[in-house]
A and B are shown apart, each in its own frame.
Chain A
Amino acid sequence: MKYKINFIVLLVFSLSFWSCKQSTEPKYAKNEVFELAPPRVNIDSTIFKNSARIAVDFEVDGAKIHYTNDGSNVGESSKNYEEPLLINKSGKYNFKVFHPDYQASEQVSIAVIKIKQSISEAEVITSPLPHANYAGNGTNSLTDLKKGSTQFRNGFFWLGFLSPTTTIQLNFKRELAISKIVLSTLKDHNSWIFSPKSIAVASNSKNIGVLKLKSPDSVQPTQLEFIEIPLEKGVYSEIDLQLTMENIPEWHQGKGTVPFFFIDEILVE
């Protein structure tokens, strides 16, 4: 009996010693735990007249970049990215990195637009005026074909509005045949920058198009976003855009307040 008790005491002691010893051993994380970061996509201009060049970097041994050029999701059987892409038409490109040891990256999407019609001479009036900190180079920033980046504080590309509704009037000073209008915008939820809830387009007080956007149900990746609004085909000399913002949703720390709307370019087709 005495031996049995001694044995149990020894066993408990050994186990407790062993478990203490265990807790101080490093617990090395395995490859599979980690996700690759998204690839670094560089484009000279997402809005172009003739062509654009997309270069993608991911300096990791054994990593492979795959992509699609039709907007579909990227898989390991998608095209292999080997050298910069020269683009000469509008489209949507998706990129993703794969590696045998790690989880695949998130997909990076990039839309490119070939300009069909310049409206650089148009007069642009906004109501209200853009926020004083994000006033770009005045309202003509919207038609100068100069794109901003996700680093919206750098340069004078973006106009930022902080209002439940914003009206943008475009006076083309000539008649243009138009079937679509494209807004080049920024989505950056962490910086309280959201897309509008709806965009109504009118010309001479007649509604010619409307687009309603879905409210996001969680934080989405920061990205440059082209919002396309199909219009009633016609010849127009002026267009009014009415943008309506929805208050920031419940899941965001800014819930219940009006978010920013950021726009750097308006294109017509």
Chain B
Amino acid sequence: MKRRNFIRNSSLVTAGLTSGLLNASHYLSYKDAIIGHNSHRYKIDLQWGALNSNFYPVNDCHEMVQDSKGRIILLTNHTKNNIIVYDRSGKLLEVWGTDYPGAHGLTLNVENGEDVLYIADNNRHEVIKTTIDGKVIQVFPYPKESGKYDKKESYIPTETAVATNGDVYVADGYGEQYIMHYNAKGELLNVFGGRGEENHLFNNAHGICIDDRDASKPTLLITARQQNKLKRFSLDGEYLSTTDLPGAYICRPVIHNKNVYLATIWSGNGSEGTGFISILNEENQLISAPGGCKPKYDGEQLSPMYQTLKVFQHPHDVCVDDDENLYVAQWNSGKTYPIKLYRV
């Protein structure tokens, strides 16, 4: 409730300030757009984080995370500044990183009390672990020892997940669709998945995370983006179950409290510019689709999803902050900066 009051009050302040400058009745004739459904509805700030592109350019804005200090960290594949750090209001704090031409996956983990980042680079064909300010700690190179690859170029990692014991899972989402399971030292322990239509296989294993909502039994959630499916595996790589999200081309699962948030890059028949955001409840049912149609279930079966409002083009990741506001990074969307959604 506190958060909601804060938002309500701050918008009253804004309205008050603005009405002093503009014709009040004219201003009030416009309504703030609200997207989403049920418990998860949002106002939209299209200008959040916009910077002077001559100084701080972006290409694709691939992923975002919030660090332990509450800062919002954006990963882009522009090598002038692969990492852009904002505060939650969208103010620029710092930039770093010039060595990640294929910067794609960004995962934050707290190790020995320090934030560290895992950058999956699909141009370098490896995953790089860095300190929060960009010093390289460790590299997970192309897994020749897996025996699954003839050459480095066939391995195109898109995402990393880190378990509480320090084990690291890497999804080869644009390559051969395998999931690599390493220990913290970078020794390969297991390989599972691979390309195919069967339950335990993937077509575009794009995103991966640890689902620790049941703390006693953590599992892996992995998106099969082209299949519109979210697949659950044990930490040992055993296939467990699938959540079908027909029409939703989901990028990576992000767990926040009891919900799963998924940027959905395309929808419907997969046409360009048709993205929205998917939000699942603790039973993994779609409860809200900001920018998309109202989720409708026929028994267990979700009706095919599609975009209804052109707010997003190609959402690629969602970051959820402590106030449960969302930051949406977009791929191939005219080199635009992230969009912030304020929960109402």
Contact = CB atoms under 8 A, between A and B. Distances in A.
Contacts of A30: 30-33
A56 to B, nearest CB: 11
A40 B310 CA distance: 14
B80 to A, nearest CB: 23
Interface stretch (B69-77, B116-124, B207-215, B263-271): B263-271
A32 B30 contact: yes
A96 B90 CA distance: 37
A31 B30 contact: yes
Interface residues of A, number: 30
Interface string A21-34: 01111111111111
B93 interface: no
B89 interface: yes
A190 B310 CA distance: 19
A225 interface: no
Nearest to A63: B308
Interface in B22-79: 30-33, 43-48
Nearest to B42: A28
Interface in A9-30: 22-30
Nearest to B311: A34
Nearest to A32: B30
26 contacts: A24-B90, A25-B13, A26-B11, A26-B14, A26-B45, A26-B89, A27-B45, A27-B47, A28-B11, A29-B43, A30-B30, A31-B31, A34-B310, A35-B309, A36-B310, A37-B306, A37-B309, A37-B310, A40-B304, A58-B293, A59-B308, A60-B293, A150-B269, A150-B271, A190-B272, A222-B271
Contacts, number: 90
Interface residues of B, number: 37
Nearest to A37: B307
A217 interface: no
A151 B247 CA distance: 13
Contact of A29 (B13, B33, B271, B306): B33
B270 to A, nearest CB: 6
A57 B30 CA distance: 28
